[in-house]
Chain A
Amino acid sequence: MSIELQSISKRFGSTQALDQVSLTLEEGHIYGLLGNNGAGKTTLLSILTDRLRPDFGQVLVDGQPVKNNDEALGKLFLVGEQNFFPEDMKVKRAFETAASFYPDFDLEQAHKLAKEFGLPLKKKITSLSTGYASIFRLVLGLSVNTPYILFDEPVLGLDAQHRDLFYRLLIEKYSQEPCTVIISTHLISEVENIVDHTIILRDGRILRDAPTEELMENTYAVSGPAGMVDRYTEDKTILSSHSLGGLKTVSIQGQPESDLPLGLEVSRMSLQDYFISLQEAAEREEEPA
């Protein structure tokens, strides 16, 4: 049981949105799909759900290609930024429509969640505020009960209270009925404790694809007087470095040594810091010599 992306490439005019992306998304994990604007996250999710067709490569869901395949597509549900519902459709009818397409859609749960989030059922989807439009899509995603749920910027426009409620409900749902969840987001710090596997995209290519814990175990930050830090990092893989006065902080790929020189301080990196460091390292590599 998995989603397989095999050498997916997609170009829009002169922009290479995805370049030979190959991935396997295993059953029962919560994946974090991270990347800067234009990294190709939304394109990737749209290709996964056959909304966009790749120029090259194919997507398999449990071994079946998704192209025009209702059985494979029926196992996926994408909660995206864009609205695919008719302009005049009301929230209540959208739930009923979803229930007619997805046999496992829990209509009762959708109504319960709508009440919990304060989502008005009688309003047209297009007349909802940005926040409530996001809530509407989240309620669908949390009620649809498909084996794979894909969230693209799920908390867009949501206030802190509703964001917290969503993350709690997602974890609750996942613990009750484990499924595969893919969250594409810019709010890395908020999903850091949720995602157990991280995929980082940059310019249509995969920079990292590994369990979150493994990524975090293999990176650390060292700070101290600039000269000492420079000497310490001479033979190490530096992701990023920042100086402030005579002090310097360097993010390093690898395991910290137990006998660290006196005066240097080691700290664990957050996923967001790691992401930023990785992007900075990639930028440096791309700079012309």
Chain B
Amino acid sequence: MTTTMRASIQYQLRDYRTSGLILFGVNVILILLAILGMFSVGINGEVSYTAYGFSAAIFMLVCGIVTARQVIRLCAQMGTGRKTAFLSLLPSAVLASLAIAAAGEVLMAAAQAVSIGYPNLYFNDLYGLIYAGFDTTLSVGQHITSALFNTCLMLACYGFGLFCSFLYWKLSKIGCVIAGILMGLFFLGGLPGLSRMIVVQYPNLAEDFAAFCLQSGWNLMAVFLVIFLVFSFISWLLVRNVNIRGWHK
């Protein structure tokens, strides 16, 4: 590994450490609030918290959008080419996602241990919800798989964040407005419409894909990784010749 690559990764990991700790802290507070909430709703109510993986995925999406350009700019100031700067984003995101996911599993395991004596208190995460069951206490092996599942989901979101960031960097002001409108329309109407069309036109394909994803967590992880790689590749195509400019000050 070159000096510049190492320096860039170190810089990013230091940044992820601070923001990741804030994310973790917020989740701890929410879990504590859920436990307190359980006492307030009493024996007849149910309290659950299942949002760690989802919040971590949103966190990585935002990181992809916000920090990627900063890193490319910083690297440009520090005598590092676009290629190294871009490549350094990927291992940093992988390491950060792994650490955040692992910390999340420790937190979930602790929360599930607390919830054992309380039948109306549920703690779980996306992997547990989809593949193990809402009220299942995960085994150590399942926690590891769940951590990897969250890592892959976070990376898929990060890849999409990178794509958005570099697309907007490349576009002119008018292009940004048009892309923003088109993206909004795509998510509001296009994507649901496309999904409906696929289900209607190719019911077998949609069913097979859904079955493939639900069959095993590993399958969906593979899908997430493909999304990550595809968006990362497109992002590289966008950023490889971009004009890197700072701001006046």
Show the binding face of A for B, using Cβ within 8 Å: 46, 49-53, 66-70, 73-78, 80-87, 97-98, 100-103, 125-126, 128, 130, 133, 146
Any A CB within 8 A of the CB of B191: no
Are the C-beta atoms of A76 and B248 separated by less than 8 Å?
no
- CB closest chain-B residue, reference A50: B81
Cβ-based interface call for B74 (8 A)? yes
Q: For B74, list chain A residues within 8 Å (CB).
A: 84-86, 97
Task: Report Cα–Cα, A128/B241, bound state, in Å.
Answer: 31
Bound CA–CA A130/B74 (angstroms): 20
Point out residues on B near A: beta carbons under 8 Å: 2-4, 6-8, 10-11, 70, 73-74, 76-84, 241, 243-249
Q: Are B4 and A74 in contact (CB under 8 A)?
A: yes
Residues of A within 8 A of B6 (CB): 100
Determine how close the nearest CB of chain A comes to the CB of B210; give it in whole angstroms.
42
Question: With A74-B4, A86-B74, A101-B4 in contact, do A51 and B248 touch (Cβ < 8 Å)?
Answer: no
Report whether over half of chain A's contact residues are helix, strand or loop; otherwise say mixed: loop
B243 and A100 form a contact (CB under 8 A): no
Is A86 a contact of B70 with CB atoms below 8 Å? yes
B76 close to A50 (CB less than 8 A):
yes
Contact A52 B3 (CB under 8 A): no
Question: Looking across the interface, which residue of chain A has its beta carbon closest to that of B14?
Answer: A93
User: A101 touching B246 by the CB < 8 A rule?
Assistant: no
| Alpha-carbon separation in the docked complex, A137 to B78 (Å) | 12
How far in angstroms is the closest Cβ of chain A from B201?
A: 43
Name A71's closest neighbour in chain B (CB-CB).
B2
With A73-B79, A84-B73, A97-B74 given, is the CB distance from A51 to B243 under 8 Å? yes
Structural contact, B246 and A84, CB atoms closer than 8 A: yes
Given contacts A50-B82, A78-B77, A85-B246, 5 further A-B contacts (CB under 8 A): A53-B241, A83-B246, A85-B73, A101-B8, A146-B79
CB atoms of A98 and B246 under 8 A apart: no
**A69 and B81 contacting across the interface, CB-CB below 8 Å:** yes
Residues of A within 8 A of B249 (CB): 82-83, 125-126, 128, 130, 133
